[in-house]
Amino acid sequence: MEKLTFYALSAPEKLDRIGAYLSERLSRDVARHRYGYVCIAMEALDQLLMACHCQSINLFVESFLKMVRKLLEADKPNLQILGTNSFVKFANIEEDTASYHRSYDFFVSRFSEMCHSNYEDPDIRTKIRMAGIKGLQGVVRKTINDELQANIWDPQHMDKIVPSLLFNLQSGEGTESRSPSPLQASEKERESPAELTERCFRELLGRAAYGNIKNAVTPVLMHLDNHSLWEGKTFAVRCFKIIMYSIQSQHSHLVIQQLLGHVDANSKSSATVRAGIVEVLLEAAGIAASGSVGPTVLEVFNTLLRHLRLSVDYELTGSYNCTNIGTKIIKEHEERQLQEAVIRTIGSFANTLPTYQRSEVMLFIMGKIPIPGMHPMLPSTGSGTDLILIDRHDNLPKFSSISIISDISVLKLKVDKCSRQDNLFMKKHAQHLYRHVYLCSKEQSSVQPHFEKLYSLLALISMELANEEVVVDLIRVALALQDLALSSEETLPVYSRCAVHALSSAYLNLISQLTTVPAFCQHVHEVIEMRQKESPYLLPEDVFIENPKIPKTLEKLEGELLFQQAKITEVLGGSGYNTERLATPYVPQFTDEDRLSKRKSIGETISLQVEVESRNSPEKEEVNENMKIYNPYNQGRRKLNCRSRQNPTVPPPLHIHN
């Protein structure tokens, strides 16, 4: 072998004849089952290949690959493994000259077949599969950086490579992927097909450039579809954990966009399938770096909210038409699980956004969710999503349950001065928030978690977005909730009335201590004390428990059991608050924008053209061309061709002058 190597290095022009001779000998020995000589010839080819990197090596490589192919086509596992090992050695060589005509299509197909081996002997089957994985890894390494080779990222190759890897990865589904890389695995673990596959899959994804991410991820989605692997979620989540940890961080949003597109493609699939895809989205968002959703932030929320509404529609109708199987009956609990998954995912995405984007996203979400009362299934989702968006100082866990806290200093709340941007946001959109709180409280179907979310929302607004004007309005809303629970015109059940009273008392207890006005705190404390003695069912400690202690009927409440608007106005007015505004009872304000029943896209949200011809007004032809409305999405002003209704109970839109 030393003499042969010296001869080949001295006369490199002879390499092609040496390769042809060894190839001929090896072919003959394979046909005659002289496997010892086959191994000798293959070893000679390997050593010559490793030693010679001259320009004449291309022809020698052709002979070498011809013999590797011969071994891989053999029906003997040992020959297949021998050929694979030689190919892997060749794949690790950096050739001095490029090849313009070499093809690796056969090797992709053959190694993929070996990855799916069903050989009877389990030990041999494992060896063949591992050889196939190593072979695919070798093909990727050999072709990935060679622009003259066939593009390994083409779908025709990825559709074979990726499913083969996932097939072997699934065999080790019981072993949880530990985090970015399995380097800490023991030697024995690294030799399993699943561990070897994971390393190969990570290497493949780590080499993917911007334009190749889609071709690498699409076969993953198809594999999970074809083998019904979304429903279990465990394997699907594991796959996308590997993907998100392995690709370059700046490409994360491409994976998220593909998952969003896949949710759309499965809009008629079962709720468990849709929920599985959404759960994967949730995991992907948690792994992705801040802001990784890229430039299409609102598109992400738009897609998720659309599927939330779609799921609610399915649940309400009980069925939907499916092209292939006709009418599909809905399982209500599965749709509910999907809705919860969508809401959690929206929150996870929102958590990755920088602070300056959160208020805009919050407004967008509120615009997409119907006004409570118009849609019976959605009142709690808006407030639940807003809480991820508002909480900037991790105060939310301290308001997870509703209770009367005598001294809020024990909560160790973090409060910063309200920023200019937040002041502007609240000035323009605070009424939208207050209206959601008020109308959600009116929902007869509301249960304890709904009220807890509303309490958290009010508390966070007080902590994060409150200036003096906002504080006044929040107190007005809390008093309006008390009036709501007292109103004989509302058909609220006893539990809801008690719950609204309890919500109002807990929040007034909090806001009074935040304002640090002693007389205000004293009044609130006196009412709470009186309720503890005579009507504990008006406080959260008796209402928001597993078995609420509420009466069968609610007697008329008056006097010292109620928070007095006049008293609060008087004490706060003495501390410089706006007494005129405090003395005015809160009434939900509706705008023309709220009356729009359909919003199909963000484009419609940006440029709303309100039709005035349908209104029964004798002045409908008089259009004020100078009325303008501020639009937060394009940071500009657009004309809104409308005329407000002359309705004393519904205030017209605010005029914002140039």
Tens of pLDDT along 282-313?
A: 888 777 755 455 556 777 788 888 888 888 88
Which pLDDT value is given to residue 112? 94
346 lies in the same domain as 405: no
Q: Would 208 be classed as within a structural domain? A: no
Name which residue leads in pLDDT, 329 or 126.
Answer: 126
Do residues 463 and 395 lie in contact, with contact meaning Cβ atoms separated by under 8 Å?
yes
Cα-based angle 615, 598, 277 (whole degrees, multiple of 5) = 175
pLDDT over 50 (residue 586): yes
Q: Would 90 be classed as within a structural domain? A: no
- Could you tell me the end-to-end alpha-carbon distance of the chain, in angstroms, rounded to an integer? 90
Helices (H), 369-447: 379-390, 420-442
Q: Would 220 be classed as within a structural domain? A: no
Q: Are strands 326-329 and 636-639 parallel, antiparallel or unpaired?
A: unpaired
pLDDT over 70 (residue 597): no
Q: Would 269 be classed as within a structural domain? A: yes
DSSP output for 55-121? TTHHHHHHHHHHHHHHHHHSS-HHHHHHHHHHHHHHHT---SS--SS---HHHHHHHHHHHT---SS
Q: How far apart, in whole angstroms, are the C-alpha atoms of residue 528 and residue 276?
A: 46
Do residues 225 and 240 lie in contact, with contact meaning Cβ atoms separated by under 8 Å?
no
Q: Would 409 be classed as within a structural domain? A: yes
530 lies in the same domain as 418: yes
Listed range (54-58, 130-134, 413-417, 463-467) with the worst mean pLDDT: 54-58
342 lies in the same domain as 406: no
pLDDT over 90 (residue 11): no
Do residues 600 and 569 lie in contact, with contact meaning Cβ atoms separated by under 8 Å?
no
Identify the sign of the CA torsion 382, 385, 389, 395. positive
Q: Within 10 A of 345 (CB to CB), how many other CB atoms are there? A: 27
Q: Would 413 be classed as within a structural domain? A: yes
pLDDT tens digits for range 546-583:
899 999 888 888 889 999 999 999 999 988 898 898 89
Do residues 503 and 441 lie in contact, with contact meaning Cβ atoms separated by under 8 Å?
yes
551 lies in the same domain as 438: yes
Helices (H), 398-546: 420-442, 448-464, 468-486, 494-515, 518-534, 540-543
Q: Would 592 be classed as within a structural domain? A: yes
Main-chain phi, psi angles of 378, to 5 degrees: -115, 5
Percent with pLDDT over 70 in the chain: 76
Do residues 602 and 298 lie in contact, with contact meaning Cβ atoms separated by under 8 Å?
yes
424 lies in the same domain as 347: no
Element (H or E) spanning 319, and its range? Answer: strand 319-322
From the list 269, 188, 176, the residue with the least C-alpha distance to 221 is: 269
Q: How far apart, in whole angstroms, are the C-alpha atoms of residue 405 and residue 528?
A: 11
Domain finish residue from 583, 598, 613? 598
From the list 278, 380, 280, 379, the residue with the least C-alpha distance to 337 is: 278
From the list 336, 176, 217, 226, the residue with the least C-alpha distance to 272 is: 336
pTM of the model: 0.63
Which pLDDT value is given to residue 380? 41
Mean pLDDT of 32-61: 76
305 lies in the same domain as 452: no
Percent with pLDDT over 90 in the chain: 27
Which pLDDT value is given to residue 331? 80
Domain finish residue from 575, 598, 621? 598
Mean pLDDT of 497-519: 93
Domain finish residue from 554, 578, 598? 598
337 lies in the same domain as 417: no
Beta bridge partners of 328: 320
DSSP state of 324: T
Domain range for 592: 397-598
Q: Would 60 be classed as within a structural domain? A: no
336 lies in the same domain as 423: no
Element (H or E) spanning 38, and its range? Answer: helix 35-51
pLDDT over 80 (residue 53): no
Q: Could you give the number of structural domains in the chain?
A: 2
550: CB partners within 8 A, 6+ apart: 494, 495, 498, 537, 542, 543
Which pLDDT value is given to residue 239? 93
443 lies in the same domain as 329: no
346 lies in the same domain as 462: no
562 lies in the same domain as 441: yes
Do residues 494 and 554 lie in contact, with contact meaning Cβ atoms separated by under 8 Å?
yes
pLDDT over 90 (residue 593): no
347 lies in the same domain as 475: no
